[in-house]
Structure 1
């Protein structure tokens, strides 16, 4: 019989290997940007089309490559960073495996232009399906241009598994931001579909954070600096009042390499204990610099998961450094002129004001309009102000949380809800869950509702019940377009990180159908003009951040469409959580609305919402049967 085992052709072997390294366009973005950084570039420009599916191009002014190196870089395991096994334990560069370019060339059409400063002509190479089509001299400036076109053109099945352009662009932006934050001394730009998204001039880390994450952090960053014999920690964390419902603004770098580490994230979160609300996440950009021999970065193909030789000591140092920084920060507002050094050269800053200049300024019309005497809104004191305290007195009725848009105040005056409060739920079928009155219900552990029924006892999970109610509410609104929007007296500005902004733009049309009136205002800023009428005042921004966080971290085991995913995320975000105290009237109203749902006993995660304990159950517990 003939032999059965044979070697795979190089192009097929490269395609198989590419599945580990190049999983989506963002994977190629990471590898190409890291190569440009390793080349010593001071200016890096990235251009993408159709979220990287049609084109990803990275242009740098680094040292370039010779003709031989330009050809060799596409071979598997070809690298200039490792010569022996010992080099694996002292890696300081970003890329080192020598698989990235070979993998990209196996699944895309590639064009490379490169030139060294000492060469007269550069080198042009065109590769398709791991086969070199063209190699010739070319005219090019110092540096390298790498173009990757038509990703997965030769693997249609892999291309079909790519997400929408908005989703893939979010991953590209995330990778771009991570590299740009790690190297603030390098100019970066990102252009998508002929529109420049980022233009990041080189500067300090604080300037780069402002450029990427927004102006909200200008005066709310706390510097972290801790130098020890074992490791050095530097960077910035946000003051407690900047905590958000989303995790987007959290970055940890080890030797300038972005990593994912739930362990170190927990160290930072622990440092904020009792400073921020439960469910909120602080902003931090932290750099850990330690001996490469103390860390293994070769445990995952993406190199974003690493292993420390001693995780406990790193955890302790990170926790102590953040805790120490937060203990020292000043809450006093301050002006930070470091963000623009040119301001310091202005006459208003560098030259003292003279007496003559002071008199000239105070006599002008501009000065007069800012004095209290000349302000248009100035109100003269009234002669009788005896009742001024009544203006600030609390109303007699206290606010209670809303259950899916139904007001829950004054339940003592009415035990049964009005007919129009449940217009979203069908009235023509018999409820599957009996509805008690206010004297029959009680709350246990601030999480479960108990009430007696003729057959025994029913226990309801209040959070799961409210999630089910809200989900069917949103589904009903979607189908009937019967939702009402409450206009805000003062519009609210919401600023997201670049990745979050891309996700939010994707779900914005569906949010509009659910009563939110939100408009984009720039690349990462949105203006909220209206909210659903049942949303409590003061919770507008928090609810949006919570919805976005739930949407981003949606359970991957639940298979559903984008719209249903959003409805589920909104139900999770807006539901009354376990631990919330409810009045007897609110509990009755929740059970009534649950009884009118289409699936009153199945939570959004497929678990039971309520359990009915009959006499047989109690007889078995106490041994009567």
Structure 2
């Protein structure tokens, strides 16, 4: 027999779609407070939100005549008809939050509007509404939720432990706090204040919630388009994480998850940060509601964007230019505490020897180079390494003892920092685009007066700018990798990758789908530096491969291409990156002897690179050592 469900059962089923856990309640109610134009919000939870959640705000409040209606399903003040969805800027609009909370937990609410003389109090226990009574209070709303899922034990059984549920809420509160700079937030967990913010800038909030090192390593992003604005902060090459935990994307003030935008942003960090690491960002997309669809899921974290291809293209083209302005030379990290050694006064000779060996190691365990780390430049082996490109013919080179002077000069660049105000209520979608000020590269040590001090272990070039205190340590292998990487990338863009002809062409046995992929994408293989022809229905003939790879690597990569080739832009970019990464094997190695002329050429080419401070794998090419760093090592200062 088919029967209609009772209204109570319908309410509880519907509540399960909206309220999955305590964090769902916090999200819905804080968003309501933001929509109510509150500029002060306090959130308190106990036991991971299972036993107690309280939200206090000073927003517009709910009129007592609307209070009962506010707890009915699909009752909302934010839209009247379906088409209003495409003009809505509020975070909530479905009219499900309060009804779902009341169906899943016990609720008490105190609320007052600006024009009412007294507030109103309502209590809901086991779905039963009390009478509304007057109460003295200031403008705003206080919502208290207790006994979550007591009436839905099957849902309560699947909640995770208190600490896990609390962590979910804590992460959510951090998102709310730094993304709404016009609101003061206070977050209390188990009677302890976790954080308290004041109204300020995005950087100020991040500094309060996280740490100064994060803020100091953030780069401003600001991409403008007639249909949208994409802006915020993203980390430079010196700050990255082992996971995506500090990646935040907001669309019209709402936290969302969008894999396409996330991937587009991360692609800009290829070769800028180490492989397997992730950038940190807090990015905001302001866009006309008519160009997005947020009505996909009750939690509204999935959003469809009509012009996503335009946004991804702009991120690919403009993001890298702006990120470049924040790239910095890494410094040395003074974290390891120097060993404490007793003063050697009044200590017997055998005890002194024992202490020295304990701290510094036995003398015979030290390598020969340990006693002579600083090899004078005139003792550097002058053996030529042909893989480093020579200086241009018209370039003047002067070598005087240990000084190398190169002309033309490399200019010093300056990066200007600006604060980013964020206000979702001040969105202008049709403003005229102004030409952005041209972004300049970060300063590379000036080479017009550069002194090479020595080469350590035939790998690390130690040099300084004459007249300045800072020292620089350059990894010759990483530096040459960066040079080759950018040279190959430029050749790829210009369709000028050099190919090496094979003395004896190679016949490759291929499957039917691989033959078809080749025929459909022959031009791509040619652009990547391969010369391939169809031999018969099941064989290809390889006549040439990218010269930078060498024979063996060229053939191996070709097989990888056919194993993974799909023909999309993403696949093509992946193949290009594979070739570029493999091309780095042609770089000079650690231990290769470089002449003074080759060192000069290496520095000159690196200084002209787009990203001179990291190799293609994201490792640093250059480290700056300041006088302060050295004084800290020797414990002269703290």
**What's the TM-score, normalizing by structure 2?**
0.52
Cα deviation code 1:544-590 (max 9, x no counterpart): xxxxxxxxxxxxxxxxxxxxxxxxxxxxxxxxxxxxx9xxxxxxxxx
Cα deviation code 1:489-548 (max 9, x no counterpart): xxxxxxxxxxxxxxxxxxxxxxxxxxxxxxxxxxxxxxxxxxxxxxxxxxxxxxxxxxxx
Shift of the alpha carbon at 1:388? 7.8
**Equivalent residue of 2:23, what SS?**
helix
Q: How does 1:156-235 map to 2 (within 5 A)?
A: 156-235=153-232
Q: How does 1:145-164 map to 2 (within 5 A)?
A: 145-164=142-161
Q: Distance in 2 between matches of 1:244 and 1:226?
A: 24
Runs of 4+ in 1 over 6 A off after TM superposition: 392-396
Aligned partner of 1:115 in structure 2 is: 112
Shift of the alpha carbon at 1:20? 0.8
Q: How does 1:94-113 map to 2 (within 5 A)?
A: 94-113=91-110
Aligned partner of 2:438 in structure 1 is: none
Q: Distance in 1 between matches of 2:314 and 2:457?
A: 50
8 Å Cα contact 1:213-1:249 kept in structure 2: no
Aligned partner of 2:296 in structure 1 is: 299
8 Å Cα contact 1:253-1:287 kept in structure 2: yes
8 Å Cα contact 1:106-1:128 kept in structure 2: no
Q: Which of 13, 16, 23 in structure 1 is aligned with 2:13?
A: 16
8 Å Cα contact 1:113-1:123 kept in structure 2: yes
Shift of the alpha carbon at 1:213? 2.7
8 Å Cα contact 2:242-2:277 kept in structure 1: yes
Aligned partner of 1:420 in structure 2 is: none
Q: How does 1:50-449 map to 2 (within 5 A)?
A: 50-329=47-326, 331=328, 390=372
8 Å Cα contact 1:64-1:143 kept in structure 2: yes
8 Å Cα contact 1:233-1:321 kept in structure 2: no
Q: Distance in 2 between matches of 1:81 and 1:143?
A: 18
Shift of the alpha carbon at 1:218? 2.7
Aligned partner of 2:446 in structure 1 is: none
Shift of the alpha carbon at 1:7? 2.9
Q: Distance in 2 between matches of 1:162 and 1:395?
A: 57
8 Å Cα contact 2:237-2:327 kept in structure 1: no
**Equivalent residue of 1:248, what SS?**
coil
Unaligned runs of 5+ in 1: 335-385, 397-580, 582-625
Cα deviation code 1:66-99 (max 9, x no counterpart): 1122211100000000112210111100010000
8 Å Cα contact 1:67-1:123 kept in structure 2: yes
Cα deviation code 1:192-244 (max 9, x no counterpart): 11100011111001111222232221311100011111210110001121011
Q: Distance in 2 between matches of 1:42 and 1:332?
A: 40
8 Å Cα contact 2:41-2:55 kept in structure 1: yes
8 Å Cα contact 1:123-1:136 kept in structure 2: yes
The number of equivalent residue pairs is 343
Cα deviation code 1:294-334 (max 9, x no counterpart): 00000111100111113211212233342121122263799
Q: Distance in 2 between matches of 1:219 and 1:291?
A: 32
Shift of the alpha carbon at 1:391? 5.1
Given the superposition, is the C-alpha separation of residues 275 and 330 from structure 1 closer, same or farther in structure 2, using an over 3 Å criterion? closer
8 Å Cα contact 1:271-1:320 kept in structure 2: no
8 Å Cα contact 1:231-1:288 kept in structure 2: yes
Given the superposition, is the C-alpha separation of residues 193 and 333 from structure 1 closer, same or farther in structure 2, using an over 3 Å criterion? same
8 Å Cα contact 1:243-1:276 kept in structure 2: yes
Given the superposition, is the C-alpha separation of residues 213 and 316 from structure 1 closer, same or farther in structure 2, using an over 3 Å criterion? farther
Given the superposition, is the C-alpha separation of residues 178 and 390 from structure 1 closer, same or farther in structure 2, using an over 3 Å criterion? same
1:29 aligns with 2:11: no
Q: How does 1:414-563 map to 2 (within 5 A)?
A: none
8 Å Cα contact 2:238-2:328 kept in structure 1: no
8 Å Cα contact 1:82-1:88 kept in structure 2: yes
**Equivalent residue of 1:275, what SS?**
coil
Given the superposition, is the C-alpha separation of residues 156 and 387 from structure 1 closer, same or farther in structure 2, using an over 3 Å criterion? closer
Unaligned runs of 5+ in 2: 332-367, 376-455, 459-584, 586-638
**Equivalent residue of 1:20, what SS?**
helix
